[in-house]
């Protein structure tokens, strides 16, 4: 029966995408920053965190906003961020932990950056302050770079690792959570991973599907595209491109699904800047064109998914 429901979901999700167009998400906030990449929405929908970066991506901090009725609060740097290179937040399913990626040193007295590790902060209640960051440690973190944490409801921990010892590019890993302990991470099969770049994997809460990025994959739309692989009968099926409603010739990456609203959020560097004009532009129109939302900078987009079938 679960197999049947997933097949219905596959049909619905692609039908839904084909009838929809991705739209800017919180553009009045996103445009305050040179680049915005990745997004995490708290389980109760009242908090959002995202990474804001400098023009060249050399400076990165995690920004937080909170729901205030029909509007979002003024953006603030998250209490655990702002000093080191931080990105890619992800809330636990109770909202009491926030996982993220950082190059911060293990020794707080040092300013020397480390390789990319996964860290977390925690809080006692949803209204409490965040703790000081804690390195998640082995077996998830290694001497290699670890990125983009995403956690299923059963605790299984999905992330990206750059392991040059495998003589491949970035791969997606999973560390199974059993009896309060993370197992040694394993790469997902070749229906998901390849010799190229696979990264930014969002796992559905029930592990029924994985949405992730691939770079310059054959048959793609160009640069980075988003793909989906379904988990059926304990096997990961061959990944499928999410199509032209989402993917462009530019970089499309960093997926996040809000299952309560059936919405896919993602980052795109799509560039729809006009370059052909019948007459010269005056300065005000030129500045408007430079500063339009889809000008090639990293921006957040949203697109509705078809309703998931009830199990």
Tens of pLDDT along 233-248? 999 999 999 999 899 9
Give me the pLDDT at residue 297, please.
98
176 pLDDT tier (thresholds 50, 70, 90): very high
Residue 310 has pLDDT above 80, yes or no: no
**Is the backbone of residue 281 left (phi > 0), alpha (psi -120 to 50) or beta?**
beta
Map tokens 């500063």 to a residue: 291
At 83-100, the pLDDT tens digits run: 999 999 999 999 999 999
Domain map (residue ranges) of the chain: 2-304
Tokens of 220: 């793609």
Whether the per-residue pLDDT at 311 is higher than 80: the answer is no
The span from the CA of 270 to the CA of 295, in Å, is: 7
Q: Name residues whose C-beta falls within 8 Å of residue 104's C-beta, 6 or more positions apart in sequence.
A: 83, 84, 85, 86, 113, 114, 117, 119, 133
d(CA 30, CA 38): 11
Q: How far apart are CA 230 and CA 233, in angstroms?
A: 10
Domain 2-304 CATH superfamily:
TolB, C-terminal domain (2.120.10.30)
HSE of 103, CA atoms in CB hemisphere, 13 A: 13
Q: 175-183 — which CB contacts under 8 Å span 24+ positions?
A: 175/139, 175/140, 182/139, 182/140, 182/157, 183/139
Model pTM? 0.91
- Residues β-bridged to residue 257: 264
Residue with tokens 């729901």: 67
The pLDDT score that the predictor gives to residue 169 is 83
Which letter does DSSP use for residue 128 in this model?
Answer: S
pLDDT at 306: 67
Q: Reply yes or no on whether the pLDDT at 139 is more than 80.
A: yes
Residues 6+ apart with CB under 8 A from 232: 2, 3, 6
Report, as an integer, the average pLDDT of 148-169. 91
Query: What would the mean pLDDT of 253-267 be, rounded to a whole number?
Result: 95
Q: Which of 114, 52, 116 is nearest to 78 (CA)?
A: 52
Evaluate whether 245 touches 20 at the Cβ level (below 8 Å).
yes
Both tokens of residue 195?
């010799």
- Tokens for 124, please give them: 């006692």
CB-hemisphere CA count at 13 Å for 49? Answer: 24
86 token code pair? 């931080």
Query: Among all chains, which residue has been given the structure tokens 């996982």?
Result: 99
- Calpha distance 222→275 (Å, rounded): 20
Render pLDDT for 264-304 as a digit per residue (tens, 0 to 9): 999 999 999 999 999 999 999 999 999 999 999 999 999 99
23 neighbors 307 (Cβ within 8 angstroms): no
**pLDDT over 70 (residue 222):** yes
């Amino acid at each position: 029966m679960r197999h049947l429901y997933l097949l219905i979901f596959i049909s619905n999700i692609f039908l839904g995408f084909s009838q929809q167009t991705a739209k800017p998400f919180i553009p009045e906030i996103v445009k305050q920053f040179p680049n915005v990449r990745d997004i995490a929405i708290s389980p109760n929908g009242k908090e959002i965190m995202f990474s804001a970066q400098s023009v060249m991506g050399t400076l990165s901090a995690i920004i937080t906003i909170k729901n205030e009725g029909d509007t979002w609060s003024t953006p603030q740097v998250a209490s655990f961020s702002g000093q080191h290179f931080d990105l890619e937040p992800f809330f636990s399913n109770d909202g009491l932990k926030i996982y993220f990626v950082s190059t911060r040193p293990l020794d707080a007295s040092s300013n020397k950056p480390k390789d990319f590790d996964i860290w977390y902060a925690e809080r006692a209640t949803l209204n409490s302050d965040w703790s000081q960051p804690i390195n998640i440690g082995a077996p998830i973190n290694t001497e290699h770079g670890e990125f983009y944490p995403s956690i299923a409801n059963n605790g299984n921990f999905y992330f990206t690792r750059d392991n040059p010892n495998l003589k491949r590019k970035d791969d997606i890993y999973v560390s199974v959570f059993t009896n309060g302990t993370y197992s040694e991470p394993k790469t997902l099969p070749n229906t998901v991973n390849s010799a190229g770049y696979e990264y930014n994997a969002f796992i559905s809460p029930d592990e029924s599907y994985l949405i992730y990025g691939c770079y310059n994959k054959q048959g793609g739309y160009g640069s980075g595209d988003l793909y989906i692989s379904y988990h059926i009968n304990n096997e990961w099926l061959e990944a499928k491109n999410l199509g032209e409603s989402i993917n462009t010739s530019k970089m499309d990456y960093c997926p996040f699904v809000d299952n309560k609203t059936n919405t896919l959020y993602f980052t795109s560097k799509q560039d729809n800047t006009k370059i052909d004009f019948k007459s010269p532009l005056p300065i005000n129109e030129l500045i408007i064109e430079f500063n339009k939302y889809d000008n090639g900078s990293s921006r957040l987009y949203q697109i509705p998914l078809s309703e998931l079938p009830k199990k």
